[in-house]
Amino acid sequence: MPTSPRQDLLSLTQLALARVLRRETVRLLALIAVAVATTFLTRAIADSVRERERREAAEWFDRGSKDLEHGDADAAAASFRRAAIKRRGDNRYVLALADALARTGNLDAAERALVAIRQSNPEDPQINLALARAAAARGDLTTAVRYYHNALYAPWAAADGPRGVRLELIRLLLDRGDARGAVAELIAATTDLPGTAAAHNEIGTLFARAADHGRALDQFTRALALDAQNRASLAGAGRAAFALGDYARARRYLHSVRGDDETATLAAVADLVLTRDPLASRISAAERRRRLVANLTHAHDRLEKCLMAQMPDLAPLLAREMAGLRADRRSIARDADVLEAAVNLTYRIEQHAQARCGDATPLDRALLLVAQRHGLDQP
Amino acid sequence: MNHLPSSRTQQLRLRENQVFVLLTIVIGVLAGLAAVLFTLSIDLVSKGLFGLEPSPERRFLVPALMSLLTGALLAKVFPAVRGSGVPQTKAAYHLSNGIIPARVPIGKFITGVLCVGSGHSMGREGPSVQIGAGLASTIGRWLDLSPARVRDLVPVGAAGALSAAFNTPVAAVLFALEEIIGDMNASLLGSTVVASVASVIVARSILGDEPLFHVPTYQLVHPAELAAYALLGVIGGIVSVLFCKGLLSLRTMFQRMPARTRLLQPAMGGLAIGVLLVAQPAISGVGYEFVDQALNGDLVFGTMIGLCLLKATATIVSYASGNAGGIFAPSLYIGAMAGGAVGMLVQAYAPFPTAAPGAYALVGMGTLFAGIIRAPMTSVFMIFEITQDYHILVPLMVANMLSLMISKRYQPDPVYHALLRQDNVHLPPRAIVAPEPAGGAAQ
């Protein structure tokens, strides 16, 4: 059937268009366009899902926190675990999970959770600190110290972060009886102390716990330089000086502090050491004898009273022996050469009395310290 | 027949090859996007149906009610998308010249999302494979490629999808060769690699580089541990056989039921799953978070044994009743639990130092995968890509070898082939790789 030129042109155009459309290139480009569009769509959906997961993780975290407040560590651990799974990149959730697991007594699981996140965050101070606490809880001091050091030298957001960690480490070492390790850490701690009396007092107290009374006294002295009336500094300095045997200094500090039974007792003992020491310098011979006789008398009387009370059947025998001793006492006091021996005798009597009678008075303590002061505390 | 001049033929062939290369990249990207969308959709549906903390009533009702819907879809609209998708993809490749109707990936996407998202104990990797393969086949036919090329695109799409679904590009390639093509020396190695890489690049750009599981570094602690891992291999083989036989038996039972019940069979499975979820919610869906816990040693012995048994039961019920979903993820789950339980026993009673139970859970995952799926090379590389560490590979190979031997001895038909045979689909012999013991090259 004959066609018009217009119809011919139309069918030719359609043919060409179909040919174009069929060409693989066009279809491939269409596919690529679909792929690009789908990528953006998928990314948008993924972002939406991620945001939802973030909210769910926060919700589980809140639930876990409430469970912890109510004391239900098991439920808290389950909630924190779900939060951690929902939002793996957020270490807060794993740290909370580890804390909850530790509270349930599941220290191994707590540590495993922390070790897992530490693999990707080896320098995170909070993770290292949590691992240190976990190791300490299960009694592994070596590992705990290692993690504490990792935490100490990790980058902290807060400037005083490492200080708190070091103090925690020091307390742990002291609790576990490692005074030497504690002193090493305390010395390090003194290098960046804030310039407050409280900070020096804190370090001084810890030095004293570690039995390093010299450094303790130094810290308390620094505290007093900042605040001369600080009660804690005065008490601490007094105790440190007392422990060092510097009773004059101890008395000076301790008498400035009022109202504390312990410091009052220490002050009294320090007084007595100074006033009852027969070997003190710059006292007359008469005063020396007077002190010695008084000390021996006190020690004898205490022992006599104690023995009589404990062994009443032997009272007559004890009375004779003690009378003999009393006579010897006076002669000892007259003989200057045996002064030290007398001080030692006083020490030994007091020791026996303390062993059998207990409840030493300040004077009894002072008499023992007098002997120790002069190296006359041999048994 | 169209006798074109030979130079023209060569030109056309060259052009087709060029298109094919470009197409593998595009298909890799699209298959990867499809797999990512599939995963995200399952998550969205699951959250929408179950919420943050579902009540027992909800856990019971959701699978049952949703299965009524999916049952209707599977019976009336998408009959070809029941089950995993992997055996169907194999059948399409070997028997249908790679022709997968466009309705199949669409139907698989919809029903897979609904089934797995509503709590059925099934995996998403198998459906991803069929979706990716179906997309590739559809695109190939739309571009008027030759039948051979269309067929070649099927494993390419499968590899791309699995690479994104699992975040394991190498294992995805091996799976495509080992399981879909059945020939480790296939000429399609290059294409599947390109698609797998393109897919995983896109997937990671969207989902991030987060690994599927967060696994501590495990390694062989003492040479005598190899005996323990061998024991795990034996146990894994036995569990694999029991799982396969249970699945095939129950599926046979369902298939023997009257044809009029076919629409309701998925719902029957959904009802059973609902009961199981009330008892143990941890067996719902894919369950990777619990696998993660087992890999990190955070589950106790009783829990792992219980989850192993319940998960196997739930997966058998879900799959046999005709729901749409895979058995990859359940294999890993069951393997992790079984391995972890064995690990705890070994740690408690072995007279030599042992690795943590998590190491055994990791090997158990691979062992069950090798025993059930019968893809030992894929299993080894999958574990390597998940852990980024080769230290556990020797124990894994030992366990895989034993699991495979026991599985082949007592379940000669690989599960995918057996499932196809139940549907009267018989793959040609060339579709079956003769799996070497793990560590040797497959032919």
Q: What is the mean pLDDT of chain A?
A: 85
Q: What is the mean pLDDT of chain B?
A: 89
Model confidence at B1, in pLDDT bands (50, 70, 90)?
Answer: very low
Q: Which spans in chain A are helix H?
A: 5-22, 24-69, 73-86, 91-103, 107-118, 125-137, 141-152, 161-175, 179-189, 197-209, 213-226, 231-244, 247-254, 261-276, 285-310, 315-334, 339-357, 362-373
Give the residue-averaged pLDDT of B249-265: 93
Q: What percent of chain A has pLDDT over 90?
A: 38
Cα separation, B89 vs B175, whole angstroms: 12
Q: What percent of chain A has pLDDT over 70?
A: 88
Q: What percent of chain B has pLDDT over 90?
A: 70
CB contact under 8 A, A46 and B19: no
Cα separation, A240 vs A270, whole angstroms: 12
CB contact under 8 A, A35 and B36: no
- Rg value, chain B, Cα: 21
Instruction: Check CB contact of B43 with chain A, cutoff 8 Å.
Output: yes
pLDDT at A165: 93
Chain B residue numbers touching A39 (CB-CB < 8 A) = 29, 33, 202, 206
Give the residue-averaged pLDDT of B270-278: 95
Name the residue in chain B with its Cα closest to that of A113. Answer: B296
Give the residue-averaged pLDDT of A307-318: 69
B374: helix, strand or coil: coil
Model confidence at B51, in pLDDT bands (50, 70, 90)?
Answer: confident
Give the residue-averaged pLDDT of B112-121: 95
Model confidence at A119, in pLDDT bands (50, 70, 90)?
Answer: confident
Task: With a cut of 70, say whether residue A333 has pLDDT above it.
Answer: no
- DSSP per position, A219-256: HHHHHHHH-TT-HHHHHHHHHHHHHHT-HHHHHHHHTT
CB contact under 8 A, A27 and B142: yes
Q: Indicate the residue type of B153.
A: L
Instruction: Check CB contact of B200 with chain A, cutoff 8 Å.
Output: no
Give the residue-averaged pLDDT of A3-16: 73
Task: With a cut of 90, say whether residue B208 has pLDDT above it.
Answer: no
Give the residue-averaged pLDDT of B70-92: 92
State how far Cα A357 lies from the chain centre: 37
Give the residue-averaged pLDDT of B219-235: 93
Paired tokens of B296: 């990190």
- Write the residue in A27, A42, A112 that is nearest to B297 by C-beta: A112
Question: pLDDT digits over B284-342, tens only?
Answer: 999 998 998 899 888 999 999 999 999 999 999 999 999 999 999 999 999 999 999 99
Buried residues in B403-419 as b, exposed as e (16+ CB within 10 A): bbebbbeebeebbbbbb
Q: Which spans in A138-177 are helix H?
A: 141-152, 161-175
Chain A residue numbers touching B29 (CB-CB < 8 A) = 35, 39
pLDDT at B161: 96
CB contact under 8 A, A119 and B216: yes
State phi, psi for A66 to the nearest 5 degrees.
-65, -40
Instruction: Check CB contact of B44 with chain A, cutoff 8 Å.
Output: yes
Cα separation, B356 vs B361, whole angstroms: 9
Best of A23, A38, A50, A62 to mutate (most B CBs within 10 Å, chain B): A38
**CB atoms closer than 10 angstroms to residue A11:** 11
Best of A32, A34, A39, A56 to mutate (most B CBs within 10 Å, chain B): A39
pLDDT at B431: 55
CB contact under 8 A, B52 and A56: yes
Compute the nearest-CA separation of A238 from chain B (Å): 53
CB contact under 8 A, B206 and A42: yes
Q: What percent of chain B has pLDDT over 70?
A: 94
Q: Which spans in B262-322 are helix H?
A: 265-279, 288-295, 301-320
Question: pLDDT digits over B166-184, tens only?
Answer: 889 999 999 999 889 888 7
Task: With a cut of 60, say whether residue B235 has pLDDT above it.
Answer: yes
Q: How many residues does chain A have?
A: 379
pLDDT at B9: 67
Model confidence at B438, in pLDDT bands (50, 70, 90)?
Answer: very low
Chain B residue numbers touching A34 (CB-CB < 8 A) = 30
Task: With a cut of 80, say whether residue A87 has pLDDT above it.
Answer: yes
Task: Tell me the ipTM for this assembly.
Answer: 0.84
Cα separation, B365 vs B388, whole angstroms: 15
CB contact under 8 A, B37 and A45: yes
Compute the nearest-CA separation of A109 from chain B (Å): 6
Model confidence at A18, in pLDDT bands (50, 70, 90)?
Answer: low
Of A293-302, B160-169, B412-421, which range is least confident? A293-302
Q: Indicate the residue type of A118.
A: R
Best of A23, A28, A31 to mutate (most B CBs within 10 Å, chain B): A31
Give the residue-averaged pLDDT of B227-256: 96
Model confidence at A37, in pLDDT bands (50, 70, 90)?
Answer: very high
pLDDT at B19: 77
pLDDT at B92: 94
Task: With a cut of 80, say whether residue A358 has pLDDT above it.
Answer: no
Compute the nearest-CA separation of A356 from chain B (Å): 53
Cα separation, A296 vs A290, whole angstroms: 10
Query: What is the distance between the terminal CA atoms of chain A, rounded to a whole angstrom?
Result: 141
Give the residue-averaged pLDDT of A173-194: 93
Instruction: Check CB contact of B206 with chain A, cutoff 8 Å.
Output: yes
Paired with B326 in beta bridges are B123
Give the residue-averaged pLDDT of A14-34: 77
Chain B residue numbers touching A105 (CB-CB < 8 A) = none
pLDDT at B441: 37
pLDDT at A283: 82
Name the residue in chain A with its Cα closest to that of B41. Answer: A45
- Write the residue in B37, B52, B293 that is nearest to A42 by C-beta: B37
